[in-house]
Amino acid sequence: MQYEGEERRATFSVLVDNEPGVLHRLVGLFAARGYNIESLTVAETDHAEHLSRVTIVSRGTAPILAQIYAQLEKMVAVRAVSDIGRDPLGVERELALVKVRGTGTERVEALRVAEIFRSKVIDTGLESFIFEITGAPSKIDSFEELMRPLGLVEVSRTGVLSIRRGAQR
C-alpha cells in the first residue's frame, strides 16, 4: 500500500507535437519546480501527425507526482500523458552496454552471469567484455550489481522507454 508521504518512482509517457522548443519547455517544467528527472528519452513516433514520445522517469510523493501529471497535461504541445508505471497495460524497457574487465575465474563467471540474464557479448578482448542487455530497469540494476565484484568498468544506459499494450495509442 502506498502512503501519501512515501516517495515512489513514476514513468510518464508524454505524446507531444514534434516542434522546436517542446523538450525545453518540458524540462523547464521540472526544473522550475525543483523536481529531478532520473531518465529522459525522446523520439519521433510513427504517426503521420508529427508527434514525439517523451518518456520521463521521476520520483516523488503521490501529491507531487499528481501535480507533475496535471502540469504536463496543461502544456499546449502535449497531446496525451499517461503514468506507465501505474498503468497495468504499461511496458517499460531499457538498454545498457556494460563493460567488464576480467581474467581467469572472474571472466568465466561474468560470462555465466551474462548468460543467465540473456545479455549478448558485443565486444570481447583478452581482458574485457562489453555486454548488451535489455529489460526492465530493475533487471539492468541487478545485472550491474552482480557484475560489480567481477570487474565492472563502465555502464552506459539508454534511459527508460515505455509504451502501452493493446491496439489503441
Average pLDDT over the chain, rounded to whole?
91
Domain range for 31 is 8-86
**1 belongs to a structural domain:** no
pLDDT value for 1: 46
Our count of domains for the chain comes to: 2
Low-confidence ranges of the chain (pLDDT < 50): 1
Residues 96 and 119 in one domain: yes
Q: What is the pTM of this model?
A: 0.81
pLDDT value for 168: 73
**151 belongs to a structural domain:** yes
Residues 6+ apart with CB under 8 A from 24: none
User: Which among 86, 116, 149 is the end of a domain?
Assistant: 86
DSSP class of residue 89?
T
Taking the CA atoms of residue 65, residue 69, residue 71 and residue 75 in that order, the dihedral angle to the nearest 10 degrees is 150
